[in-house]
Chain A
Amino acid sequence: SHELTQPASVSVSPGQTASITCSGDKLGDKYVCWYQQRPGQSPVLVIFQDDKRPSGIPERFSGSNSGNTATLTISGTQGMDEADYYCQAWDSSNVVFGGGTKLTVL
C-alpha cells in the first residue's frame, strides 16, 4: 500500500514561513490534500488538489506537489496556525493519510 511520510514536528517563529513536507512514491502523479487539526477539534481542509485553497482559508496557506514530495507552506505564520497537519492522497480506491506533523509557533 502507498505510504506518506511527514516529519513529526516543525517549528517556526511568528511571521516566518513554515514548510511541511509529505513524501511518497511518485506522489507528484497524485492529487494531495492537507488538513489542519487543532487540539480537540475535527480536521479542517486547508489545501486540495495540490495547491487550491477552499473558501475561508487564508492566502498564507499554499501547496505544491512534484516528484515524490508535496509541500504545505504557511507564509507569515501566526500563533493560530499552531496545530497538527496531515497530508492525504488516493491510492487506487483507497485513501492514505500521512502520519501528521505538529507545527509549533514559538
Chain B
Amino acid sequence: QVRLVQSGAEVKKPGASVKVSCKASGYTFIGYYMHWVRQAPGQGLEWMGWISPNNGGTKYALKFQGRVTMTRDTSISTAYMDLSRLRSDDTAVYYCLRGEGYSKFDYWGQGTLVTVSS
C-alpha cells in the first residue's frame, strides 16, 4: 500500500534551517509529484510548493520563494523540504503529499512538527 513516512519533530532557533524528509513506498516514486503543505497551530492548510521526482523540477509558492528548497533522492524514494531563515511563525506541522497531476492529493504523510523558538 502507498505510504509516505516523514522524519521526526524538530526544534530550531530563529534564523536556523530545517530539513524534513518524506520516504515514499508502495508506488513508483517518479510517477507522481510530491507537494508540501504546512499547518500552523489552530490554522488552515498552506501550500508551499511541489517537486517532480522524475526530473527534479520545482514550483514554489510566492511566499516561500528564496527560503524553501525541495529536492529528492530517487535511489531511496525520498523527498526533502528545506526551509531556511526560520522565524517563530514558521512553527507548524509540515506535510508531504502525493499529487496526481493537476488533480488530487490522495496520500498524505503523517506530518512533522517544526517548532521555532529561542
Contacts and interface: CB of A to CB of B under 8 A. Distances in A.
B103 A93 contact: no
Given A95-B47, A97-B47, 10 more contacts: A31-B103, A35-B45, A54-B106, A88-B105, A94-B59, A95-B35, A95-B37, A95-B50, A97-B37, A98-B44
B44 A96 contact: no
A71 B111 CA distance: 27
Given A49-B103, A90-B102, A95-B35, A42 B108 contact: yes
Interface of A: 1, 31, 33, 35, 42-45, 48-49, 54, 86, 88, 90, 93-100
Main secondary structure of the interface of A (DSSP, over half): strand
Given A45-B104, A49-B104, A94-B59, A99 B44 contact: yes
B61 interface: yes
Place the interface of chain B in its size category: 20 to 34
